[in-house]
Structure 1
Amino acid sequence: MGIDYYGILQIPRTSTTLDIKKAYRGLALEFHPERLQQSNAQEVFSLICEAYDVLGDPFRRAIFDQFGEEGLKAGVPTKDAFIQAYHYHGDPLLTYREFFGTDSPYADLLDYVKNPPVAYETVENKAAKEKRPPIKHPLVLTLHEIFFGGVKKMKIHRLTFVDEKQTTTEITEKILSIPIKPGMKPGTEIVFFKEGDQHPAHEPADVIFITEDREHETFVREENDLIMTVKVSLEEALLGTIVTVNTIDHRTIRIPITDVIDYDYEKIVEGEGMPILEKYPEKGDLKIRFSICFPNYLPKASRELLAKGFRLAKLGGSDCKHHETINKIVLADKILRVGHEERLPPI
């Protein structure tokens, strides 16, 4: 049985991100090797930091919750890709320093206020704080969200000052409202200025959300266009068909296909794509591509009929792109196969 990271941090599996940070903060200060002079302090401290390194990352935590420590460190195969094995970098003080901003178990950020370094003072005796690097998060959006736009709520956890002197910090939650414009492109950066951790010696970092498109069951987005692939039979490819499309804005449209469908054929429906950000409410196009399913078997009569159609097409001077003759022959054969009693009376 592998390591139980929840047990190391002494928290239940239902803990929130805030619970995980609070548990790590307390245990890391308690078991810091400089503070706890015991032979196994370094080993315990390293396990605590490794547990936070796993559970503090939503992706690693999800893998651990499903596959345990063995799956996390061995890698997990999926139907689309292989999730690489996780290996702790082995430097618990690096994890500690990234969380606390210092290696010392005693400073707890107060020394910067009681004895501020000269480098951080101006002539007005105010802190000239250096700004920390931005904190970037992916923001995965569905095509529905991008199509209609709106506001998306995201919860973040940050250290904030809890006293007037701005010397003590605690972990708090904050809800950020992210504006989503119709047609927003993937890779768009949405910046929230100075929403990172508050620190006596540094300006808070900017929090940046970078948009990504979530995979859709029907459509693939290419710039402002939507691409969908439809499977058709050989009969439909030669004689035509009707494609039913359930659009992102909850409409149903039926598109007749009257041309012969080959591998390069693409039906373009103008104005049924994604909104164009710079020209809203204009929209891109819907492009329908086709995958042709060939039959596994053809009866002899069908082979002879097709052979006859192709011979007549050649005699008429038609090449592979001129299909009207074949269509007429196939349709005529269908009519002849209908019994007299089933035929409609003449008009």
Structure 2
Amino acid sequence: MGIDYYGILQIPKSSTDLEIKKAYRSLALEFNKEMLKSDNAQEVFALIGEAYDVLSDPLRRAVFDQYGEEGLKRGVPMVNDYIPAYHYHGDPMLTYKNFFGTSSPYADLLDVLKHPPLLYKMSDGNKAVRKKQPPIRHPLALTLHEIYFGGVKKMKIHRLVFVNEEQSRTEVKEKILSVPIKPGIRPNTEIVFPEEGDQNPAHIPADIIFITEDRPHEVFTREGDDLVMIANITLEEALLGTTVTVKTIDHRTIRVPLTDVVSPAYEKVVEGEGMPILEQYPDKGNLIIRFNIEFPSYLPKSSKEMLKKGFHLAKIGGTSNQHEVINKLVLADKILRVDPDERLPPFDY
């Protein structure tokens, strides 16, 4: 005669899934090998684990109910299928860990001692467990100026609070929360105010969570710890060079010289002029300048010829000083266009 798994768990065959779990929980805590070191107790602990492994699975339980332990472990042929033989993995502690989430036989007791459930008295005099309300999330839009300097942002909330000693009556009250903003704080950062939600006799107040987001800026956008801006320059400035004036978030004016030929994909990086780096304050990221090149709507034929000549000479002489060659040609063309009578007299050494 095979093993009676119901008998091992000391439950009737009609037991529900919840009753099976309760029976296993009670016996597993009693015969845990950490508490009882005898060989007999360890064998019983293994049988308890196997019994729960079978009866907690609907298919295994159905096969066991119809064919017993022998049929379960031999396998059952069907009309068009075959139910494979069952073999217990042989590690009752694995079953125990999967059920309790730990191998400690004292975990259940210690959790209750350290974190006793909060109770409240119902109208009928009985007591019930107070459950915590789900968190309340609010977006917190910050300007780049606020993120750059950091500080404290005041946020007004309205919440229900107890107004009597029995904590049975509540009223809506206004409260100001001081939200700390660290320099360089990143988007989607959660700032938590524990249990600042509505007070209620039957519930633990919810946490209030502010989630940061960057407010759009008229000049800069933020990419990680870097600031990015778009500068509009003419084609002449892109080829011959210019200086870009930037008003920074901390109210300074910096002038960035452009000496390279600016192509559509060109970026000018100014080190240390970005946002504060949160973990390395007061270090800062970089300022990245990208360019929108404005092309002239019309070029006279003489100008096209001049540019063509300049590009040709640049190809012959190499491209390292191409913009200087073009600059000299344009300057020479301007001198030649001046009326001879208006030219300055030659300098006499």
Task: Note the C-alpha offset of 1:323.
Answer: 4.1
Task: Note the C-alpha offset of 1:271.
Answer: 0.8
2:241 aligns to what?
Answer: 240
Task: Note the C-alpha offset of 1:329.
Answer: 2.1
1:294 aligns to what?
Answer: 295
Distance 1:222 1:297 in 2: 37
Q: Is 1:113–1:167's contact at 8 Å kept on the other side of the alignment?
A: no
1:331 aligns to what?
Answer: 331
Distance 2:345 2:208 in 1: 71
2:312 aligns to what?
Answer: 311
1:197 aligns to what?
Answer: 198
Shift in CA distance, 260/318, structure 1 to aligned 2, threshold 3 Å: closer
Q: Is 2:273–2:284's contact at 8 Å kept on the other side of the alignment?
A: yes
Distance 2:345 2:164 in 1: 89
Q: Secondary structure at the match of 2:128?
A: helix
TM-score under structure 1 normalisation? Answer: 0.61
Task: Note the C-alpha offset of 1:180.
Answer: 0.6
Larger Rg: 2
2:170 aligns to what?
Answer: 169
Distance 2:343 2:176 in 1: 68
Matched, 1:134 2:131: no
2:116 aligns to what?
Answer: none
1:115 aligns to what?
Answer: 124
> What fraction of aligned residue pairs are identical, expressed as a percent?
66
* Aligned positions, number: 228
Distance 1:203 1:269 in 2: 51
2:39 aligns to what?
Answer: none
Q: Which runs of 5+ in 2 are unaligned?
A: 1-119
Shift in CA distance, 158/325, structure 1 to aligned 2, threshold 3 Å: same
Q: Structure 2 counterpart of 1:119, which letter?
A: A
Q: Is 2:273–2:287's contact at 8 Å kept on the other side of the alignment?
A: yes
Q: Structure 1 counterpart of 2:128, which letter?
A: A
Distance 1:344 1:174 in 2: 81
1:22 aligns to what?
Answer: none
Q: Is 2:246–2:254's contact at 8 Å kept on the other side of the alignment?
A: yes
Shift in CA distance, 219/204, structure 1 to aligned 2, threshold 3 Å: same
Distance 1:251 1:115 in 2: 69
Q: Structure 1 counterpart of 2:261, which letter?
A: V
Task: Note the C-alpha offset of 1:322.
Answer: 4.7
Distance 2:210 2:339 in 1: 67
Task: Note the C-alpha offset of 1:314.
Answer: 2.6
Matched, 1:257 2:266: no
Deviations 1:143-168 (A, max 9, x none): 00000111100000111111000001
Distance 1:317 1:301 in 2: 24
Deviations 1:16-40 (A, max 9, x none): xxxxxxxxxxxxxxxxxxxxxxxxx
Distance 1:259 1:344 in 2: 35
Task: Note the C-alpha offset of 1:325.
Answer: 2.8
2:269 aligns to what?
Answer: 268
CA RMSD between the two structures: 2.3
Q: Secondary structure at the match of 1:164?
A: coil
Distance 2:191 2:273 in 1: 27
Q: Secondary structure at the match of 2:303?
A: helix
Deviations 1:64-102 (A, max 9, x none): xxxxxxxxxxxxxxxxxxxxxxxxxxxxxxxxxxxxxxx
TM-score under structure 2 normalisation? Answer: 0.61
1:145 aligns to what?
Answer: 146
Q: Is 1:226–1:285's contact at 8 Å kept on the other side of the alignment?
A: yes
Distance 2:132 2:346 in 1: 86
